[in-house]
Structure formats: C-alpha cells, structure tokens
Amino acid sequence: MNREDHIVHGFKATLVARAIYMLSSALLMFVLARYLLEPNEYGTLYWAIGVLAIIQLFADLGLSRSVARYLSEYRETDPGQVPYLLKTTVAAKLVLISFIAYVLLLYHEWIATVLGEPEAVPFLAAGVLYLVAFSFSTFSQVAFQGFNHLGYSAIVQAISGAGRLLFAVVFVLAGLGALGAFFGYIVGYALAGVIGIGILYYGFYRRYDAADEYEDGLSRRLLEYSVPLTATQSANVIDKQIDIVLVGLFLNPAAVAFYTLSKQISDFVLAPAASLGFTISPNFGEQKAAGELEKARRIYETSLTNVLLLYIPAAVGLAIVAGPFLTMVFGSDYAAAVPVLQVLAGFVVLQAITNLTSDSLDYLGRARARAIAKGATAISNLGLNILLIPWIGVVGAAIATVATHTVYVAVNLYVVHTELDLNVVRLARTTGLICAITGVMAVTVLLVTPLVSSLFMLGGAIALGAITWALLAVVSGLVDPGQVRSVIS
C-alpha cells in the first residue's frame, strides 16, 4: 500500500471512529440538555470536566505525544528501542497520575469552593477516577498514532464515545442526576483505556524484541521533548477550558451550559478535520527523516485546501441557522446560546486549520515553536476572558477565543511554511474562490431561513445550502467527483 492509499485508509478508519464518537457525544449532549438535566446541572457537569481537563495536564506532561514522536522514528530506524520507550513512558505516567490523584483527593473541596462552584465538590472527588481512566484512554490512542496504526486509535475512540453515552444515560435514569452522567464518562473512558492498553501490550509491545540495551540518552531526549509538548498541550487545554471555568466563576452554571453547548456543537462540526490531521501527521515525521519534503508539502497543501473548502461554507452556514437550530433542537431555554454559537462559527474555521497543522508540527520537530505561540495566545486568551466576560457576558468568552486563535493559526501556518515552503499564491487564490462560492451559498440560505418553522424545514434549508455549495465547487473545479468517489470507495 503506497503512502497516499495508507493515508486514505487511515483517514477512513479515523473518520468512522470519530463519527461514532461525535455522534454518540451529540446524542448524549441532546439527551442531557433537552430531557435529563436542567441548564444549571448541565453547566455544573461540564464545568467540573473543564477543571479536571486542566488538572489532567499534570498527569501527562506531554509524555504521550513525545513517545508517539519517537515511536514514529524508532520503529523505522531501531525497532529494538520501542519496548524501552513504552516502559519509560508508562512508568513515568504512573508516578505522575498517582501524585496528582492524591493531591486532588486532598484538595478537591478547597478547589471547588475557591472557584465559586461548591456544588461541584462530588464531581471533583470522583475526578480521581476520571483522571486515571481518561489518561490511559488518550495515551493508547496517541501511541497507536505513533505506530501509524490509526485503526486501533479509531477503535479506542469509538468505544469511549459509545461507552460514555450508554452509561451516562443509564446512570442518570437510575436517579443519580448530573453526577451519574459524570460516572458514565468515567466508565466509558475506563473501558476504552483497558482495551487500548491491552491492544498496545499484546499487539505492539510484545511484538518488538528489545535491544540489548537502552540507547544512551534516549530516555533523556524523550523527557526533554515532552517539555515543549507540555507547554503546548497545557496552553491548548487552558485555551479550551479556562473560558468555561471563568464563565462559571464570573457568571453562573446556566451561562456555562450555554457556552459549553455551543463549543460542543462546534467540536461536532470539526470531526472530519480532526480525523484528517490525526491521520496525516505521523507521515511528516517519516518523510522528513527520509528527506521527502516535497511529498510532505503536496500532502499538506491538498489537505489544507480540502479543509478550507469544507469549513468556510460550514462556518457561514452554522452562523446563519444558529437561531432556529438551537431553539428547535434543545428548546427555548437555550436561546441565550445563539449569539455564542454565531461567534464560535468563526472558531470552526480556525480550529479546523489547527487540527490539520498542530500535530504535524510536532512530527516535524517544531514543537518548541508551536509551544511558544500557543503559550502566548493562551495567556492572551486568559486576559481577554477576564476583561470581556464581566463586561459583555458569555459572548465575551467566544470573542476572546476567536481573536486569540486567529493569531495562533497565523503563526502555525508560518512555521509550516518555513518547513515545507508552501505555494502561498496558489493557496491564496484557492481560498478566494472558496469564499466566493460561500458567498453565493450564504445568500441562498439567508433567503430561505426566515421561512423555517420546523426541524424538517431547517434540514431542507441546510440541504439546499449544501447542494448549492457542491454544484459550485464542482463547476469551479475545486472538487473532482471522480476523486471523491475513489476516496469513498
């Protein structure tokens, strides 16, 4: 199987798994928000998850992505080092998780009280289990990425999504409320983690014969490379979660629900871009090691064009139909989330580019540059949130996210350009054509949106926009129907 076919195969597997994960997440989001939880309960649940996502950073410190990078390299050049890399990483993670879990168990009540959410105390207490389950679930996914066996990553991700849906709904219906939904998350991630670690051990670790000795300095380089990755990962999580925490601190759990729901919808839309970025990134490390940067450039430019072709129209369409979509699907209680979702539609395009680019920079060995950019924009995002949330409410958090992420994306693209020498003129010309097509599509959707009075009519408006986009994309030459059929088949 050549590299292009391998990428397409991996993309299909990852996209199917992410589709299962995102569809199960969307269904869980819908059931919890519409039927099972009040906005305050929904907000408390995801506020606690946001806090734990920040705490979880200290239970990993970039080790997962660091070992993935070295697995990608050494499985080709010196396979005997693979068992040593895995053992070092697992041992370090066990030490970190044990320490962080102990600290959280001691101070969970104090954390909830200081951050102004005392009702979240039981969530943070149970967060000890959440940290362990989530950490090993995500570690196995990233390790499989390093081995460039994305089908296994897909399996782990799909199991975690389906498990969360099943157990969260069962526990809520059993009368455990929002805390029951949280335990559903724990069980889903635990199942995925056990299966993922099992596959990693029996399918990979035991398959490699360890070299006579650990390469001198490799463990040090593994830990050193985790430092910039820690900075990037920390900034990334803080960038994504601190706004949720601050909305809860400055406003109330209902505002957290409005903001979280809007971000979850944008994450759902971003599934294809995340799948593509996860799929292609290991190839950049292999191609750089082999001196095949021309191939890497071609893959990246094609992927970026496809991402923009999909997400610029998707973001504009999302902003147009945000009002009827939220009120019809989740109820009038969530009408206050409409302007938030409209602002975050811009974030959809930015995050799509980030999903494609960020992991690729790690595999190109540019983690430090990305870490500096992410750290600076994360600090800026924190400052803007503190300034804007008390001033203009929950919409301020969305504005801060879009503003700072714009800068981060620009820096990422520049760093990729320095590595791969992108054809900027061609990319700019293609982006302009995509924007023109999007303008025509937007006018079409705007004309019919005022007539929407039911979910069926809303679906029709979205379908009309999609058909307009598809026809114009084919006529303009941006989309080749033959290539689309080959990818699908």
| pLDDT tens by residue, 110-136 | 999 988 888 999 999 999 999 999 999
Q: What is the pLDDT of residue 486?
A: 45
Sign of CA dihedral 256, 257, 259, 263: positive
- What pLDDT score was predicted for residue 272? 65
Domain assignment of residue 232, yes or no = no
Q: CA angle 254-256-257, nearest 5°?
A: 65
236 located within any domain: no
- Phi first, then psi, for residue 231 (nearest 5°) are -60, -45
For 123, the token pair is: 């969530």
Which tokens in the block code for residue 405? 């992420």
Lowest mean pLDDT among 12-21, 324-333, 386-395: 12-21
Per-residue pLDDT, 286: 59
User: Which range scores top for mean pLDDT: 169-173, 325-329, 332-336?
Assistant: 169-173
Sequence-ordered list of residues with C-beta below 8 angstroms from that of 270, at least 6 positions apart, any chain: 311, 348, 351, 352, 355
Output the pLDDT for position 489: 47
Torsion, Cα 58 388 37 461, to 10 degrees, reads -110
240-252 burial by CB neighbour count: b if 16+ within 10 A, else e? bbbbbbbbbbbbb
The pLDDT of residue 277: 57
Which range (320-324, 352-356, 386-390) has the least confidence? 352-356
Give the pLDDT score at 237: 72
d(CA 370, CA 279): 19
pLDDT band at 101 (very low <50, low <70, confident <90, very high): very high
Residues 162 and 67 in one domain: yes
Which of these, 15, 20, 12, lies nearest to 188 by C-alpha position? 20
Can you give the pLDDT at residue 387? Answer: 93
Domain that holds residue 283: 251-488
Q: What pLDDT does 487 receive? A: 43
92: enclosing H helix or E strand:
helix 82-114
Verify that 199 and 270 share a domain, yes or no: no
Q: Into how many domains does the chain fold?
A: 2
Average pLDDT over residues 53-72: 83
The set of long-range contacts for 84-92, using a CB threshold of 8 Å and a minimum separation of 24, is 84/210, 84/211, 84/214, 84/215, 84/218, 84/219, 85/218, 85/222, 86/143, 86/200, 86/204, 86/205, 88/219, 88/222, 89/63, 89/64, 89/139, 89/222, 92/63, 92/223
Give the whole-number percent of the chain exceeding pLDDT 90.
Answer: 25
Least confident segment among 6-20, 37-51, 347-361: 6-20
- Answer whether residue 179 is part of any domain: yes
The arithmetic mean of pLDDT across residues 453-475, rounded, is 83
* Sole residue written with tokens 């054509």: 433
Regarding predicted confidence, which is higher, 282 or 146?
146
The distance of Cα 62 from the centroid of its chain, to the nearest Å, equals 16
Tell me the percentage of the chain whose pLDDT exceeds 70: 86
Q: How far apart are the first and last CA of the chain?
A: 16
Q: Say whether 477 sits in a helix, a strand or coil.
A: coil
Q: DSSP labels for 137-198? A: HHHHHHHHHHTT-HHHHHHHHHHHHHHHHHHHHHHIIIIIHHHHHHHHHHHHHHHHHHHHHH
The residue among 465 and 481 whose pLDDT is bigger is 465
Q: Which two tokens stand for residue 110?
A: 């104090």
* Alpha carbons 268 and 170: distance in angstroms, whole number: 23
Tell me if 237 is assigned to some domain: no
- At 273, the pLDDT band (50, 70, 90 cuts) reads low
pLDDT tens-digit series, residues 429-443: 999 999 999 999 999
In 341-422 the beta strands, taken as DSSP E runs, fall at none
Are 78 and 144 contained in the same domain? Answer: yes
**Tell me: the pLDDT tens digits for 331-375?**
888 888 899 999 999 988 998 888 778 766 766 667 677 778 877
Confidence band for 292, pLDDT divided at 50, 70 and 90: low
pLDDT attached to residue 370: 74
Provide the 8-state DSSP code for 421.
Answer: -
- d(CA 409, CA 331) in angstroms, rounded, equals 34
Which of 175-179, 307-311, 410-414 has the largest mean confidence? Answer: 175-179
Same domain, 52 and 168: yes
Tell me, yes or no, whether 275 and 382 share the same domain: yes
Looking at the structure, tell me whether residues 385 and 306 fall in a common domain: yes
**Would you say 14 and 275 are in contact if contact means Cβ atoms under 8 Å apart?**
yes
Residue written as token pair 């990425």: 145
**Position 147 confidence tier, pLDDT thresholds 50, 70, 90:** confident
Q: Is residue 245 part of a domain?
A: no
Q: Return the pLDDT at 266.
A: 82
Rounded to whole angstroms, the maximal C-alpha distance in the chain is 72
The residue written with tokens 């870490």 in the block is 371
With a CB cutoff of 8 Å and minimum separation 6, the contacts of 433 are 476, 478
Q: Which residue has the tokens 């993670």?
A: 93
b/e per residue 320-330 (b: at least 16 CB within 10 A): bbbbbbbebbb
Q: Is the pLDDT of residue 278 over 80?
A: no
pLDDT for res 30: 86
176, 269: one domain: no
Query: Which of 61-65, 307-311, 425-429 is the least confident region?
Result: 61-65
**94, 210: one domain:** yes
Does residue 284 register a pLDDT over 70? no
State whether 117 and 152 are in the same domain: yes
In a domain, 447, yes or no: yes
pLDDT, average across residues 474-486? 66
pLDDT greater at residue 22 or residue 249: 249
Weakest mean pLDDT among 11-15, 19-23, 60-64, 215-219: 11-15
Does the pLDDT at position 288 exceed 50?
Answer: yes
Q: Which of 173, 193, 227 is the endpoint of a domain?
A: 227
CA 70 to chain centre: 22
**274 pLDDT higher than 80:** no
Residues 219 and 317 in one domain: no
Do 351 and 477 share a domain, yes or no? yes
**Is 211 in the same domain as 271?**
no
244 belongs to a structural domain: no
What's the pLDDT at 105? 93
Q: Which pLDDT value is given to residue 9?
A: 58
**Mean of the pLDDT values across residues 290-295?**
68
C-alpha closest to that of 300 among 431, 419, 153, 474: 419
Q: Considering the domain boundaries, does residue 240 fall inside one? A: no
Segment 269-290 mean pLDDT? 61
Q: Rounded distance, CA 104 to CA 126, Å?
A: 10
Distance of CA 191 to the CA centre of its chain: 20
State which of 227, 243, 264 marks the end of a domain: 227
